[in-house]
Amino acid sequence: MRILITGVSGFVGLHLVEYLLANHAGLELYGLRRWRSETPSSAAPRPDVRIVEGDLLDAPSLMRVLQATRPDAIVHLAASSSVASSWDTPSEMLQVNALGTLHLLEAMRQLDLDAVVVLACSAEAYGLVRDDELPIREEQPFRPVSPYAVSKAAADMLGFQYFQAFRLRTVRLRLFNHCGPRQSHRFVIASFARQIAEIEAGLRPPRIQVGNLEVRRDFVDVRDAVRAYWLAATKAEPGQAYNVASGEAHSIREILDRLLALSDAVVEVAFDPVRLRPADIQVLTGDASRFRAATDWRPEIPFERTLADTLAYWRASVRA
């Protein structure tokens, strides 16, 4: 089976490669890398992944990549992924996440490529939800409140449209917040873990900068998320959308308290208004029963281990 992974050198892409090579023999793995990308060695995929060069915003290059690889499945992970930074770069968000997805799907259509394409969609697209709409099911209407969420809603709907109009075998995975070791410090759990590790090492004052601590999110360990991508490619029903969620919501305050409990450092928590967003969602928690019924997926890694492993990763990074 040939699998093409876009965003192969990103946080999820690297974990997906490791999972596939460790658990599924006989796969041919291809990774899409943007031209002239200066990927650091710490974020380079393994040598048994064949790298092909192209750019989501250059449609002819995607045609060439698909012609050369002829994959049986595509896992489309490449994206601009930060909700917080999307307020500063809304044009980039829409181009990469929406237009880039359109280019990929259109290349598949033009080549009449019969491959399953798993789209990394996002629960952020659901946006504002009422208490009586929780936990969120896939029928929930989209009410996105950030440029990132709008771009992901557009990519999601493109996946649906290309299935309905052209019978492309798209599967839309609506991931709730995923996290774990090696995630960028632009994201909240990694940000807290990095700050704690630097405080422990004496590299910063004993003060953690925080934004809104009261919002609550549903977190999935990245190592559980990559299993979901594999199951979506091999067991899910084309044309469907699936939530990938734990079903539990944790406040950002609770997460910070639990990370601090793993450290002996005495830390002051300081509010930083720069970290607030122009609009935010109070609660996001999902119902993954549709995906569980289709694939038997369920989270396996306890949230406590996710937090501990993330903090351990940043401690090692700071020491290095």
- Over residues 282-299, the pLDDT tens digits come to 999 999 999 999 999 999
Q: How confident is the model at residue 187 (pLDDT cuts 50, 70, 90)?
A: very high
pLDDT score recorded for residue 170: 98
| 311 neighbors 197 (Cβ within 8 angstroms) | yes
Rg of the Cα trace of the chain? 19
Enumerate the CATH 3.40.50.720 domain ranges in the chain, comma separated.
2-179+219-246+289-293
Mean model confidence pLDDT for the chain: 94
Is the pLDDT assigned to residue 274 strictly greater than 90?
no
Instruction: Provide the pairing of β-strand 216-217 with 250-251.
Output: antiparallel
pLDDT score recorded for residue 6: 97
Is the pLDDT assigned to residue 44 strictly greater than 80?
no
Angle at 124 between CA 118 and CA 126, to 5 degrees: 95
Top CATH class of 188-215+249-285+301-319 equals alpha beta
Q: How confident is the model at residue 276 (pLDDT cuts 50, 70, 90)?
A: confident
pLDDT score recorded for residue 39: 55
Is the pLDDT assigned to residue 218 strictly greater than 80?
yes
Q: What would be the CATH architecture of the domain defined by 2-179+219-246+289-293?
A: 3-Layer(aba) Sandwich (3.40)
pLDDT score recorded for residue 82: 85
Q: How confident is the model at residue 36 (pLDDT cuts 50, 70, 90)?
A: low
Q: What is the DSSP string of 88-102?
A: T-HHHHIIIIIIHHH
What percent of the chain stands above pLDDT 90?
89
Measure the CA–CA gap between 226 and 318, rounded to whole angstroms: 26
pLDDT score recorded for residue 38: 55
* Paired residues of 284 in beta bridges: 217
Q: How confident is the model at residue 140 (pLDDT cuts 50, 70, 90)?
A: very high
Across 74-94, average pLDDT:
91
Enumerate the CATH 3.90.25.10 domain ranges in the chain, comma separated.
188-215+249-285+301-319
What pTM value is reported for the model?
0.95
pLDDT score recorded for residue 45: 72
What percent of the chain stands above pLDDT 70?
97
| 266 neighbors 204 (Cβ within 8 angstroms) | no
pLDDT tens digits for 227-246?
A: 999 999 999 999 999 999 99
Q: Which residues contact 242 (CB under 8 A, 6 or more apart)?
A: 138, 171, 172, 173, 174, 232, 236, 288, 290, 291, 294
Torsion of CA 54, 96, 237, 177, to 10 degrees: 120
Q: Which residues contact 47 (CB under 8 A, 6 or more apart)?
A: none
Is the pLDDT assigned to residue 99 strictly greater than 90?
yes
Is the pLDDT assigned to residue 41 strictly greater than 80?
no
Q: How confident is the model at residue 85 (pLDDT cuts 50, 70, 90)?
A: confident
Tokens encoding 11: 């946080």
Measure the CA–CA gap between 114 and 102, rounded to whole angstroms: 17
Across 152-180, average pLDDT:
98
